[in-house]
Structure 1
Amino acid sequence: MSQEKSWYTLLTKSRFENVVFNDIQKKSIEVFLPKIKKRSQRKDRKLMIDVPLFPGYLFVNITLDPVTHLSVVKTTGAVRLLGYSSGPVPVPSAHIESLKIVTGTGLDVVSGTINTLQKGERVLVVRGPFSGVKGEFLRHKGKDRVIIKIETLGQFAGVEIDREDLEILPAILS
């Protein structure tokens, strides 16, 4: 195990990024949670809120000695350091510095996958009243809205959903 500090990606429970960030900071461990400003999804408000750039992930600068490693992964809401069976994989410091510069500018930052939805692509609804439902992408409808086709009881229905409430299903799961 390396005794030199390196940055590692820490996977957290869903929506626990801030809790984990604060608890790790209290342990005097260097931690970085890149955030961006985004319009609130609540219908009754038009606020800009800070949200994690990479939901479910933050970065810690640690040595991989057993005490520090255990201290990080035993934090409430922490899941594991990303890596392989041989151990966690460090993130180059240059990448962290770039993220700090990008998120520190105050300019609009758009995140997400480069992959755009293609007609016929299988999707999973991850939030909202249709959460857990699998469907097929039909078309875009305005900014950040899409129409998907879902099958229920042998019938098809098209529903309009926020784009961010969908995840593309890997071919193996669709």
Structure 2
Amino acid sequence: MNWYVVYTKPKWEKKVAEQLTNFGIECYCPLITTVRQWSDRKKKVEVPLFNSYIFVQLADKDRNLVFQSVGVVRYLFWLGKPAIVRDEEIATIKNWLSIADQYDVVVDAFQIGDKITLESGPFITQEATVQEIKKTHYVLVLESLGCTLRMNFK
């Protein structure tokens, strides 16, 4: 069975994942814990790693079952076909989320456009391009994984 990417209504990722699980569909909604600030307090909340996207694992013939959930909009397509995510990529995301807080990031003086190889963490040995440099973080593009990584300074 393949992993597919499902596009959801905004802010419906966790609800859709719960509904699909109740329907017996294997799904994965990667969550990260972040601190949100309101006018009167700060609170740790779990938010989706990918806004409006969840992953579902099912047979090709069963793909229409996801539309039983109210918050599902459509599948993500690539080259005219539903985008398929490999098992290794799902495992990489799960691994990264399980160990993300265990690593300290050492920041050298990089320039925008520099090509670097990550030396620690879940993306070790991945090549990245420095896209943005701010006072509190770097933004790196991991072309081999097709994603952008934000690394905060501690």
How does the TM-score come out when normalised to structure 2?
0.63
1:86 shift after superposition: 3.4
Return the alpha-carbon distance in structure 2 between the equivalents of residues 7 and 51 of structure 1: 21
Residues 29 and 46 of structure 1: is their aligned pair in 2 closer, same or farther, counting only changes over 3 Å?
same
Return the alpha-carbon distance in structure 2 between the equivalents of residues 108 and 76 of structure 1: 37
Once the two structures are superposed, what CA deviation does each residue of 1:56-106 show, in whole Å capped at 9, x if it has no partner? 1110011110xx211113411111111146320210110000111111236
Alignment length (residue pairs): 111
User: Are 1:54 and 2:50 counterparts?
Assistant: yes
1:116 shift after superposition: 3.3
| Runs of 5+ unmatched residues, structure 1 | 118-139, 145-174
Q: After the TM superposition, which segments of 4 or more aligned residues of structure 1 sit over 3 Å from their partners?
A: 114-117
1:107 shift after superposition: 1.5
The equivalent position to 1:43 in structure 2, one of 36, 39, 42, is 39
Return the alpha-carbon distance in structure 2 between the equivalents of residues 29 and 10 of structure 1: 12
Return the alpha-carbon distance in structure 2 between the equivalents of residues 46 and 70 of structure 1: 40
2:88 maps to which residue? 94
Q: Kindly, what percent of the aligned residue pairs are identical?
A: 27
Q: What is the correspondence of 1:44-83 to structure 2 with a 5 Å cutoff? A: 44-65=40-61, 68-83=62-77
Q: Which amino acid aligns with 2:24?
A: S
Return the alpha-carbon distance in structure 2 between the equivalents of residues 108 and 80 of structure 1: 36
Return the alpha-carbon distance in structure 1 between the equivalents of residues 40 and 48 of structure 2: 22
1:168 maps to which residue? none
Return the alpha-carbon distance in structure 2 between the equivalents of residues 143 and 45 of structure 1: 22
* SS of residue matched to 1:105: helix
* SS of residue matched to 1:116: strand
* 1:40–1:48 Cα contact (<8 Å) kept: yes
Residues 108 and 116 of structure 1: is their aligned pair in 2 closer, same or farther, counting only changes over 3 Å?
farther
Residues 34 and 108 of structure 1: is their aligned pair in 2 closer, same or farther, counting only changes over 3 Å?
farther
Return the alpha-carbon distance in structure 2 between the equivalents of residues 98 and 143 of structure 1: 26
How does the TM-score come out when normalised to structure 1?
0.56
2:114 maps to which residue? none
2:15 maps to which residue? 19
Return the alpha-carbon distance in structure 2 between the equivalents of residues 19 and 13 of structure 1: 10
2:5 maps to which residue? 9
Return the alpha-carbon distance in structure 1 between the equivalents of residues 92 and 79 of structure 2: 28
1:41 shift after superposition: 3.1
